[in-house]
Amino acid sequence: MSGRGNAAAVSPWRKRGDIALRILAALPLGYAVATFWAMALSRILPMNPAEATTTGMLVAFVICAVSAMWAFAAKSGWRAIWVLAAAGGVAAAITWISMRMGGMA
């Protein structure tokens, strides 16, 4: 992926597209990653539901901020998108499986 960036002249539109992808990765996606991890933690942490949910929320803002930082540090916009989508996907899967298996408060 980095090959594109090394090209001598990168067209301004490609640059703008890359920035747009990173913004998408940082904001809607980074937020989704944080939310899904908050949900997953509220299911899997070995504490009562109110405690686990609260812990999930306390951690979520760190996840959101670090996701946004990483979205701009990644090699390319596309890479930022797919890595964050995968990170959120793992949490979503954990949540889904746990909810299929167990009940709810």
Partner 1 sequence: MSELGDKGFRQSQAFLHTWSGLLLGWVLFAVFAAGTIAFYREGLNRWMRPELAKVEQPEKVLAGAQRFLQEKAPDAKSWSIYLPSGSTPGAQVSWRPQPVEGEAPRRGRNRNQVMIDANGEPAKVRETRGGEFFYRFHFDLYYMPVIWARWLVGVAALLMLVAILSGIVTHKKIFRDFFTLRRGKGQRSWLDGHNATAVLALPFHLMITYTGLVTLAVMLLPWATSAAFKDEAGYFEALYPEPAEVERTGRAASLVDLTTLVRDAEQRLGGKAGYLEVSEPGDAAARVGVIRSGASMLSSRTPRISYDGTTGKPVWASPEAGPAVVTAGSMIGLHAGRYSSDWLRFLYFLCGVAGSVMVASGMVLWTVKRREKLHDPARPHFGFKLVERLNVAAIGGFPLGVAVMLWANRLLPVEMAGRAAWEVHCLFLAWGAALMLGIVRKPQPNWVALLGLTGVLLAALPVYNLFATERGLFASLWSGDGVLAGIDIALLVFGAAFLALARRVARHKPAAPRVRRRAAPVQPVAAQMEPAE
Q: What x-and-dash track marks residues 68-97 binding partner 1 by CB under 8 A? A: xx--xxxxxx-x---------------x--
Q: What is the DSSP string of 38-73?
A: HHHHHHHSSS-HHHHHHHHHHHHHHHHHHHHHHHHH
Member of 29, 33, 34, 83 binding partner 1 (CB under 8 A):
34
Q: How far apart, in whole angstroms, are the C-alpha atoms of residue 66 and residue 42?
A: 20
- Any contact of residue 22 with partner 1 (CB under 8 A)? yes
- Any contact of residue 52 with partner 1 (CB under 8 A)? yes
Nearer to partner 1, 58 or 86 (CB): 58
Member of 18, 24, 85, 89 binding partner 1 (CB under 8 A):
18
Member of 8, 10, 83, 97 binding partner 1 (CB under 8 A):
10
User: What is the nearest approach in angstroms of partner 1 to the Cβ of residue 91?
Assistant: 10
- Chain CA centroid to CA 50, Å: 24
Nearer to partner 1, 64 or 87 (CB): 64
| DSSP character at residue 100 | H
**Burial of residue 13, with CB atoms counted within 10 A of its CB: 0-12 exposed, 13-18 middle, 19 or more buried:** exposed
Residue pair 30/81 in contact by the 8 Å Cβ criterion: no
